[in-house]
């Protein structure tokens, strides 16, 4: 007779470290894949400036650049004229204050019958001449500023017309750039998927190969990292209207695969799956086939559910009832039988006898 191979789980600290480092492994693999994908994504794409240089009217561009240079020149002249005008304004104000002070001084002297000296008259005449000269220069600067302002407005009007023309010419260039960028992104996305999909398929193959091995947890971490990276690449490089269909179809495939797998487990259950189901049912004193309560021994006249079984309290007298074979009255499944080697009563569907430890091959019960 064969028995189920036992897999020790280890203490909780060991299981915690296994889970922790499995998560760390998944994160590191996720980062590593990200570095590789970043290198693939660094491939140069279309150059917009090169497209403009090749497709845009360079004569119009030169004219626009010339108008920009003229604008800067005129603006610099306006700034210079304003600075000179400010200087003349300050000089004129100083001359005016000087003249006012001299006139006030002469007025006082005349009131006291004192004639102004020749030097005072000379200073007053020079101040008057400087004031008049500054006024003339100030007026010339104003006229020059008006001319520069008219010139600047004319250049601005020409720039606006030329800018509208260039903007119209750039529309097909931008469309061409967007088309080339779209194709470039598709190529980059395809190369990334060409790298990731074989890795993902290899992960699936390793899972199928090692699904019963103790190293299958490593495949979980690796597969999760690759699967997330594949989803991110598809979301980044493929249009949303296509991505939603890809996502839904992928989800449908995964859900159908899980449903088929679960149905196959019920139709052709594995040994480990059967043992797990039988063990849980026996612990709750329920039939593993139909979940009918196993009313034998001290539980013959009691009622319970899977949740309330742990709250039942038996008296010492009823707990000492003799063991005997038992068949489920609802589905006719043999649940307890006599062990051939030791003669004690044992669970029929569990792999080993609790008295002698002899095992038996697990088989699906028949009703």
Q: pLDDT by residue (tens digit) across 185-203?
A: 888 888 988 888 888 888 8
Angle CA 182–235–181, to nearest 5: 10
Q: Give the percent of the chain with pLDDT over 70.
A: 78
Q: Mean pLDDT: which of 89-103, 291-305, 332-346 is highest?
A: 332-346
Q: Is the pLDDT of residue 263 over 70?
A: yes
Residue 322 contacts residue 309 (beta carbons within 8 Å): no
Listed in sequence order, the residues at least 6 apart from 91 whose beta carbon sits closer than 8 Å to its beta carbon are: 130, 134
Phi, psi of 243 (to 5 degrees): -65, -35
Can you tell me the distance from the alpha carbon of 351 to that of 344, in angstroms, rounded to the nearest whole number? Answer: 15
Residue 143 tokens read as: 């006229």
Average confidence (pLDDT) over 328-354: 85
Closest CA to 359 of 244, 275, 285, 265: 275
DSSP 301-315: T----TTGGGG----
Residue 301 contacts residue 313 (beta carbons within 8 Å): no
3-state secondary structure 229-256: HHHHHHHHHCCHHHHHHHHHHHHHHHHH
Tokens 């020149």 -> residue:
73
Q: pLDDT by residue (tens digit) across 38-89?
A: 998 888 888 888 888 888 888 888 888 898 999 999 889 888 888 877 777 7
Helices and strands in the chain, H and E counts? 8, 3
DSSP 256-295: HHHHHHHHHHHHS--HHHHHHHHHHHHHTTB-TTT--B--
């Amino acid at each position: 007779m064969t028995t189920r191979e036992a897999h020790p789980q280890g203490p909780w600290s060991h299981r915690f470290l296994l889970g922790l480092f499995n998560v760390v492994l998944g994160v590191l693999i996720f980062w590593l894949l990200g570095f590789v994908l970043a290198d693939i994504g660094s491939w140069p794409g279309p150059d917009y400036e090169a497209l403009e240089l090749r497709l845009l009217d360079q004569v119009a561009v030169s004219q626009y650049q010339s108008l920009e240079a003229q604008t800067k020149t005129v603006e610099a002249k306006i700034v210079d004229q304003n600075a000179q005008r400010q200087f003349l304004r300050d000089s004129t104000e100083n001359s005016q204050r000087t003249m006012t002070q001299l006139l006030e001084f002469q007025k006082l002297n005349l009131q006291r019958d004192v004639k102004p000296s020749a030097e005072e008259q000379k200073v007053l005449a020079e101040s008057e001449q400087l004031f008049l000269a500054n006024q003339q220069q100030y007026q010339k600067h104003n006229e020059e500023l008006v001319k520069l302002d008219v010139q600047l407005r004319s250049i601005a009007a020409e720039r606006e017309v030329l800018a509208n023309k260039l903007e119209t010419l750039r529309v097909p260039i931008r469309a061409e750039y967007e088309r080339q960028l779209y194709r470039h992104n598709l190529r980059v996305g395809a190369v990334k998927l060409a790298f990731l999909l074989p890795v993902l398929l290899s992960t699936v193959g390793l899972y199928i190969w090692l699904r019963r091995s103790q190293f299958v947890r490593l495949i979980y971490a690796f597969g999760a990292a690759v699967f997330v990276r594949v989803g991110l690449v598809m979301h980044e490089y493929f249009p949303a209207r296509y991505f939603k269909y890809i996502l839904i179809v992928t989800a449908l495939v995964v859900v159908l695969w899980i449903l088929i797998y679960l149905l196959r487990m019920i139709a052709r259950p594995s040994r480990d799956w059967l043992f797990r189901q039988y063990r849980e049912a026996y612990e709750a004193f329920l039939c593993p086939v139909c979940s009918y309560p196993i009313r034998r021994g001290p539980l013959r006249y009691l009622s319970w559910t899977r949740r309330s079984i742990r709250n039942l309290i038996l008296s010492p007298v009823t707990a000492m009832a003799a063991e005997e074979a038992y068949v489920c009255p609802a589905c006719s499944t043999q649940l307890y039988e006599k062990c051939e080697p030791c003669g004690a009563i044992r669970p029929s569907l569990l792999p080993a006898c609790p008295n002698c430890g002899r095992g038996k091959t697990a088989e699906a019960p028949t009703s």
